[in-house]
Amino acid sequence: MNTWTYASINGMRIPHGIGSVWAQAAWEVYWELVNRWRFDPNLYNALGSAGNQRMMLYVNEGLKNTACNPTFTQVRDGIIQAATDNHGGEDVCRIWQAFAAFGLGTDAVSGGPDSTSPSNGFAVPASCRAGAKAVVFSDDFETDKGWTVNPGGTDTATTGRWERGDPQSTNSGGPKQLGATVSGVNDLVTGAQAGTSAGVDDVDAGVTSIRSPAITLPTSGSLELSFSYYLAHGSNASSADFLRIKVLGTTTITVFEDLGAADNDDGAWSTATVSVSAFAGQTVRIQVEAADAGTASLVEAAIDDLKVTRQ
């Protein structure tokens, strides 16, 4: 049994002795990926080569993330980044755990590219500890991640269309469009401008929609979609008005819906968490819809801090 750790390069000859220690570190990661399936014969028969294929992908892509003449920790970080960027990030914690068991955890200390006196570290990131949730996708809307307005070309709303922006506050019997976001300065909002009155740039005459970029979900684990939201409306609203969130994969499922009513409902941020485990292993898009779909009414909606996590 090989008992080498990262610190085993102490006293090793350059380059071959040190290279053999790195080969052992890489083997530990590879074996962790293979072990993912080997305890289930059906999965192993179908996917037994996937550990090898993924390791090749992560190492090759990891090299593109790594500077020349790197330390062990820099090569580790390049591989971790490659795993984050591929397969929905579902292998990231497995790789961290394999590296950490070898002494290449988050607290490992390298003396530099030519050093043969590093210090082992056996810690994993907080996001990979028991009970932690790994982030698959997140958007606080401070930068443009590629959401598409009216993706199906079927929207009917004449004003108050979804956009990413810095919202201006409006008031009609109380706050309707909130000028304060949950974080940062931007959110997804139905017409960011206030206009000359509360009813000028709200949702009017139908449905407005906006769709996320493609999100590749892990094949296993408990997957959740969480977000902050509000749906505000005047007393002239009805249940035909709504804020709705759909997940589009091999099927389309409405995972959240908030309906209007004939009462005055002021804007106030709330949070929601819904399961999206039914889409495990799929590449999906999230679609957000809002509507003033009955008689003309004052309707405003917003979304912020949207996140997909895996536990």
Query: Is residue 308 predicted with pLDDT exceeding 50?
Result: yes
The structure tokens listed for 265 are 């409902």
Q: Which residue has the higher pLDDT, 135 or 176?
A: 176
DSSP letters spanning 192-259: S---SSTTTSS-BSEEEEEEPPPEEPPSSS-EEEEEEEEEEE-TT--TT-EEEEEEESSSEEEEEEEE
Q: Which residue has the higher pLDDT, 220 or 293?
A: 293
Of the candidates 179, 155, 285, 158, the residue with the CA atom closest to the CA atom of residue 232: 179
Q: Do the two domains 6-131 and 135-310 of this chain adopt the same fold?
A: no
**DSSP-derived 3-state class of residue 78:** helix
Q: Which residue has the higher pLDDT, 53 or 49?
A: 53
Mean pLDDT of 188-198: 94
pLDDT (tens digit per residue) in 266-285: 999 999 999 999 999 999 99
Domain 6-131 coded CATH 2.60.40.10: no
- Residue keyed to tokens 């799929």: 282
The pLDDT value given to residue 272: 97
pLDDT (tens digit per residue) in 138-176: 999 999 999 999 999 999 999 999 999 999 999 999 999
The pLDDT value given to residue 37: 54
The pLDDT value given to residue 47: 47
Q: Structural domain boundaries of the chain?
A: 6-131, 135-310
Domain covering 135-310 in this structure, CATH number = 2.60.120.200
The pLDDT value given to residue 204: 95
pLDDT (tens digit per residue) in 6-47: 999 987 888 888 899 999 999 999 988 887 655 444 444 444
Mean pLDDT of 194-202: 90
Average predicted confidence (pLDDT) for the chain = 91
Report the distance separating Cα 218 and Cα 135, nearest Å. Answer: 11
- Band of pLDDT at residue 1, cut at 50, 70 and 90: low
pLDDT (tens digit per residue) in 88-130: 888 899 999 999 999 999 999 998 887 778 999 999 998 888 7
